[in-house]
Copies of this chain bind each other. A is one copy, B any other.
């Protein structure tokens, strides 16, 4: 990762100790095409580059972390990463087409070790071999997750729990979407961030967290890369959360 980006992230108060910069090899390269309406993403190319075979090194002081997000990396690596943490309260994972196609068994194993899954609708369908999203969620939960959040791009997200609770949330509405890439990770960050600061994950908190996920995703798509996310403050996030609440109220 270019030093300028690391500096920018650091300046927002984010701990970057865990970032490893490999000096040789190609960076991870992901090439995709979005449909006319920016809803469906077609993966053209996923080149792992230096990510292939990378053995993650977790800083020792992270071992006591309570809330973990395993991003859409190699599920085998994610399972290894998980061992570095002593007793996380909540582990949430994501995955993508590349791993579903190539390492489906490991994806399912990873899900069994996590508490929750945050996944795109189309990837949930691919993973679960099932078109109905409620049935997909049930399958994910049958593999050991306590909850599944299925993200639907500009259509919001649905939270399903292992005690048959359900929360469909419309997306925050934007007049213009610049680039949907990264919306999913931003969603996960907003979701887990809210849970971590509340330090609880009962259904009511999880529902709020889904909205914070939507809010962070809505910021992410307003510009390319992390540009928009670096420009916003906590106040902006809270303001948009309140705006969302007013928007969907009836």
Contacts and interface: CB of A to CB of B under 8 A. Distances in A.
Contacts of A155: 152, 155-156
Nearest to A205: B250
B173 A170 contact: no
Contact of A247 (B38, B152, B168): B168
- In the complex, the count of this chain's copies comes to 2
Interface stretch (A5-13, A18-26, A41-49, A129-137): A129-137
Given A152-B155, A155-B155, A155-B156, A169 B132 contact: no
B36 A250 contact: no
A250 B122 CA distance: 26
Contacts of A176: 132
B36 A177 contact: no
A55 interface: no
Size bracket, chain A contacts: 35 or more
Nearest to A174: B134
A171 B168 contact: yes
Given A37-B125, A125-B37, A248 B175 contact: no
Contact of A166 (B135, B166, B169, B247): B247
Given A125-B37, A170-B170, A173-B166, A250 B207 contact: yes
A121 B166 CA distance: 25
A158 interface: yes
Contacts of A37: 121-122, 125, 131
A132 B156 CA distance: 15
A57 interface: no
Contact of A250 (B152, B172, B211, B247): B211
A132 B207 contact: no
Contacts of A208: 250
Contacts of A154: 133
Contacts of A122: 37
Nearest to A37: B131
Smallest CB-CB A-B distances: 7 pairs? A155-B155, A207-B250, A168-B170, A170-B170, A134-B175, A37-B131, A168-B173
Interface of A: 36-38, 121-122, 125, 131-135, 152, 154-156, 158, 166-177, 204, 207-208, 210-211, 247-248, 250
